[in-house]
Structure 1
Amino acid sequence: MIWALFLGLAALALAPLGFALFRPARVIGRKEADLALYRAQLAELDRERAAGRLEEAAHRAAMLEVQRRLLSAPDMAVPGRAGRGAAVMAAFLFLIPAAGFGLYLWRGHPDIPAAPFRERQEAAARDDALLVQLRARLAQTPPNIEAARQGWILLGNAERGRGRLDAAAEAWNRALAARFDPTLAAELAQLQLERGENEPASALLMRALGEAPADPRLRYLAGLAEAQAGRNANARSTWRALLADTPADAPWRALLERQLQDLP
């Protein structure tokens, strides 16, 4: 009975894929799919805030992250599903659960308990210790060499992933001090905007735009900094100029138009 239950659950999990394979084909571009996903994410964030389940600061940070991913989305098209590809996928639809079932019978150990909370705490503590060691090693490394700069970037990424924004900002500032990079400056500026540090973010974006004036992410963040500082006229001017330079099929165009409409 237990194996029949597992097979039933596998069939339910793969049912949406089967439905997508056997319904009439439709060509969908990568940009269109990305845009639909980001619109849904933004709408969900708005609903969470309206329902009181998301504070304003958390809502703003989440919105910025969705906007960052949209502005970083690759500019490429994905071809529609061809008949041959659909047939291959349909075969895999049945082969995947069968192969997984066989592999589980061969190598599976259903009696192994889940990792307890204490073990997860110990793993997190080990990760923290590694970050402390990395920070100490970088502090002893000459700051002007490229290896140190890359180390600070990696440390900043790790700290941001763990939600420690102060530590991430410090690491990225050290990397920028070694060599200024507009892309990394955009990451740090967005983090500063999430923390409400508008003036430092504006100064950083101004410098980055001096080196990469056409970068759409930098231009968008510059307008966002102006909007969050209450300088709506400047934000509108910045975003309108960006909109004029944005291709009609750019995945972030709809987001930019929405931000312009939402300005007071």
Structure 2
Amino acid sequence: MEDFIIWIPLVLLALAALLPLAVALLRPRAARGRREADIALYRAQLAELDRENEVGRLDEAGHRAATLEVQRRLIAAAEQTEGETRSARGAMAALVLLPLIVASGVGLYLLRGAPGMPSATYAMRAEAQQRDERLLATLRERLAALDPRSEQAWQGYVLLGNAERARGRPDAAIAAWRRALDARFDPGLAGEVAETEIERNAPAAAMPWIERGLREAPNDPRLRFLFGLAELQAGRPEAARTAWQALLADTPADAPWRAMLTQRLSSLP
């Protein structure tokens, strides 16, 4: 009986620990406007690349390389959105199973628990981080040995920038992407730099990349959208309105991102 009484507060403590999870599951989910917009813009870029190739402004090699890069980004964005959809479907099921999770956890702990065993979570996380840093260091060393104007170096710096951005280091990401852009300018990569600058609230730094990209790809919907976003962030909502209205006028009626653009326009002050 005494053992049973001892476990009552432990079970209550476990339920209290899972309470934030229940609150998170019940909270209305945030809109996925950013990822949906990304998917739509990547699809629009693919269509634009096909048009550029058809009229002869883009050779087959350039068209193939650019298409593969946009398709990679499209797949990544679609997978993330699909994962969120699966998560939403499982949220209510997880909420219903919370009491069972607590009971099962207590039972498993009673059978196989080892409270004296030291935790290895931090060590494992530190080891994984060190491994990633070693890989990045190796990539930097190999890039240093390459001709900075070579296609291999260009692709390596793009990869390095993507990795640095994923690790939450925008300065390093931009530095790597700029090395690639110094070797060969690419409007899509310029958009990555501009978007990262906007994310860290630096529209003045983003605008030159957007404008240069638009000089080479004036119909690129992503760059045109980022132009309006930079203007809005810089405190010029009327300029953003003008840019987005022009983009909306060129947007096909069945474009999947038209609704997002309309919503952005309606939210302007």
Cα distance between partner residues in 2 of 1:69 and 1:120? 32
Question: How far off is 1:161 after superposition?
Answer: 1.3
1:67 maps to 2:72:
no
Matches within 5 A, 1:45-194: 45=30, 67-73=37-43, 116-194=121-199
Give per-residue Cα distances to partners, 1:162-216, cap 9 Å, x unaligned.
Answer: 1111111111111111100001111111011001111121111001000001111
Task: State the secondary structure of the residue aligned to 2:224.
Answer: helix
- Pairwise CA distance, 1:220: 0.5
Residue 202 of structure 2 corresponds to residue 197 of structure 1: yes
Take 1:65 and 1:150, find their aligned partners in 2: how far apart are those partners? 25
TM-score, normalised with respect to structure 1: 0.59
Alpha-carbon displacement from aligned partner over 1:19-44 (angstroms, at most 9, x marks no partner): xxxxxxxxxxxxxxxxxxxxxxxx84
Deviations 1:19-72 (A, max 9, x none): xxxxxxxxxxxxxxxxxxxxxxxx8447xxxxxxxxxxxxxxx97555334422
Aligned to 1:213: 218
1:242 matched residue in structure 2: 247
CA distance in 1, matches of 2:131, 2:182: 29
Aligned residues of 1:152 and 1:171 also touching (Cα < 8 A): yes
Q: Kindly provide the amino acid, as one letter, of the partner of residue 138 in structure 1.
A: L
Deviations 1:138-180 (A, max 9, x none): 1332211111111000001111111111111111111111100
1:255 is the counterpart of 2:225:
no
Preserved CA contact (<8 Å) 1:152 1:175: yes
Are 2:36 and 2:257, in contact at CA under 8 Å, matched by a contact in 1?
A: no
* TM-score, L = length of structure 2: 0.58
Structure 1 Cα separation of the partners of residues 136 and 184 of structure 2: 22
Give the superposed CA RMSD. Answer: 2.7
In 2, the alpha carbon distance for the partners of 1:70 and 1:115 equals 42
Q: Is the 8 A contact 2:33 2:260 kept in 1?
A: no
Percent identity over paired residues: 52
For 1:127 and 1:66, the matched residues in 2 are separated by 30
> Structure 1's 228 and 65: CA in aligned 2 closer, same or farther, altered over 3 A?
farther
Counterpart residue identity of residue 67, structure 1: A
Conserved? CA contact 2:40–2:255, under 8 Å: no
Post-superposition offset of 1:124 = 1.8
Letter of the 1:150 counterpart: Q
Number of positions where the alignment pairs a residue of Structure 1 with one of Structure 2 = 172
Q: Is the partner of 1:132 in helix, strand or coil?
A: helix
Change (3 A) 1:255 1:193: same
Rounded to whole Å, the distance in 1 between the matches of 2:211 and 2:236 is 16
The separation in 1 between residues aligned to 2:30 and 2:232, in whole angstroms, is 19
Task: Give 1:28-39 correspondences, 5 Å limit.
Answer: none
Q: What code does the residue aligned with 1:129 have?
A: R
More helix by share: 2
Structure 2 CA distance, aligned partners of 1:192 and 1:66? 21
